[in-house]
Amino acid sequence: MPLTKHLNVAIIDSNPALGSRPYFNKEDPPDPRVSTVTPATISFFKDVGAWQYIEQHRHAYFDKMQVWDYTGLGYTRYNAQDINKEVLGCVVENKVLHGSLLSCIENTDFQKTIYPSKLSSMTLPPSPSSLGMDSTSSRPPLSSQRHLAKLELSDGNSLYTKLVVGADGGKSRVRELAGFKTTGWNYSQNAIICTVEHTVENGCAWQRFLPAGPIALLPMGDNFSNIVWTMNPKESTNRKLMNEDEFVKDVNNALDYGYGPHPTSSLFGSGEMFSWPRAGVTLSANDCFEVPPKVVKLASERMVFPLSLRHASDYVSKHVVLIGDAAHTVHPLAGQGVNMGFGDAFALSRVIAEGIAVGSDIGEVTVLKKYEAERKPANIMMMGILDGFQKAYSVDFGPLNILRAAALHGAHFISPLKRSIISYASGEQKLPLFT
């Protein structure tokens, strides 16, 4: 963006990956820390010239998705062709995302400095909203840094800046130092993640809701898949420690006949009543339920993460703005978290460019509020939906199970609804319905 080319950017991050040249051994199995990026995020990466680096490393597009639960009462299959697209998303290891963005930064011509350090303290300048009237007419000594925020780093450096962007994750230090309030709760759930191997290639994203939480199987390319399995903390400790063979058996059980039967369509008929008018029926409405490919081997260590929902009540204050997990943390059940973050970054960079076009001070709240007005409602809606799903699927209660299954069934067969859902989850549509 030519309007922002002149801005001087400092990146403060103590992650060692930023210092060394990223080296990926192609023989290594995929790292279990992955992200599912939506088409909207892929567009963003292409716009800034970073996607070309991702394509040089392991990445897995997928165009099919199946969602079902343990009650066997319903299932949904999605296909990218339902919305005339080629992919629903792409699964990429986080280290590949980091490396690509780093390469992109290094090859783009603008002033940047990386500080491999941590933020110790932050001092914000006082607000000049009500300026006192000096009796002396002479100008006070010019302090060129009086209108800037001062950051002190753990390595002793001091930085002065117009705008501090808190992109430092769910436990954001910037958020803490700036005094933003948050609301949220911890889900009494942990997620286990790991890489697994099949005998065949997996080309579909699978998610089955179990009584204690969903298990997701995401394609990673070659014969590998990534597992994200949400469960209560006690089970997560057990499953992390049990031997590999037992774990693999458990996973296959969870994806197959464990906890309940395979869904059939017999409860609600074959969906014929939803299939009229014939025109406009989605391709995937005719797909039968499939069993995911069997896992034959565990290909990485098992990692456990606690899950929570957190939201900052404000995203902006003078000189400070929060993006990504620092502003909002969500349940991984729909693979949306990192995509919301990239959406934030995209929106903020556009708002800054628009502000510069009309000579604004980019640290000014009125400029930054435009970013908040754009992103907060979208993020809150997504969080509400995800949280709603999490709660709806946490309860094993007959009538509710049937209601859920009916909803899943409807989502599978009612074509306009399905298209809306896919478009929304792909990041193309702002609202889930009524667009």
Partner 1 sequence: SSSTGGFQRASSLKDLELAKFASIAETWWDFEGPFKPLHVMNPTRLAFIRSTLCRHFDKDPNSARPFEGLKIVDVGCGGGILSEPLARMGATVTGVDAVEKNIKIARIHADLDPVTSTIEYYCTTAEKLVEEDRKFDAVIALEVIEHVANPAEFCKSLAALTVPDGATIISTINRSMRSYATAIVAAEYLLHWLPKGTHEWSSFLTPEELVLILQRANITVREMAGFVYSPLTGRWSLSDDIRVNFIVFGTKNCQ
Give the residues lining the site for partner 1 (CB under 8 A). Answer: 2-6, 128-131, 133-134, 139-140, 142, 144, 146-147, 355-361, 364-366
Shortest Cβ 335–partner 1 spacing (Å): 32
Shortest Cβ 371–partner 1 spacing (Å): 14
- Shorter beta-carbon distance to partner 1: residue 80 or 351: 351
Shortest Cβ 163–partner 1 spacing (Å): 13
Distance, CA of 313 to CA of 332 (rounded, Å): 21
Shortest Cβ 147–partner 1 spacing (Å): 4
Token digits for 163? 């705008």
Shortest Cβ 347–partner 1 spacing (Å): 16
Whose CA is closest to 344, among 380, 392, 306, 396? 380
- Shorter beta-carbon distance to partner 1: residue 20 or 137: 137
Residue whose structure tokens are 């296909």:
79
- Shorter beta-carbon distance to partner 1: residue 162 or 294: 162
Run of H or E residues at 425: helix 415-425
- Cα Rg of the chain (Å, integer): 24
**Exposed/middle/buried for residue 382 (C-beta within 10 Å: 0-12, 13-18, 19+):** buried
Shortest Cβ 344–partner 1 spacing (Å): 20
Under the phi-then-psi rule, with left for phi > 0, alpha for psi from -120 to 50, and beta for the rest, what region is 237?
alpha
- DSSP annotation string for 175-233: HHHHT--EEEEEEEEEEEEEEEE-SS---EEEEEEETTEEEEEEEEETTEEEEEEEE-H
What sign for the dihedral angle of Cα 240, 241, 242, 244? positive
**Exposed/middle/buried for residue 209 (C-beta within 10 Å: 0-12, 13-18, 19+):** buried
- Return the number of other C-beta atoms located less than 10 Å from residue 395's C-beta: 10
- Shorter beta-carbon distance to partner 1: residue 219 or 355: 355
Distance, CA of 290 to CA of 229 (rounded, Å): 19
Shortest Cβ 319–partner 1 spacing (Å): 12
Shortest Cβ 51–partner 1 spacing (Å): 24
- Shorter beta-carbon distance to partner 1: residue 139 or 181: 139
For residue 153, the cross-strand partners are 119
- Shorter beta-carbon distance to partner 1: residue 228 or 367: 367
Residue type, 335: G
DSSP state of 406: H
- Shorter beta-carbon distance to partner 1: residue 66 or 161: 161
Shortest Cβ 151–partner 1 spacing (Å): 18
- Shorter beta-carbon distance to partner 1: residue 145 or 253: 145
- Shorter beta-carbon distance to partner 1: residue 30 or 355: 355
**Exposed/middle/buried for residue 368 (C-beta within 10 Å: 0-12, 13-18, 19+):** buried
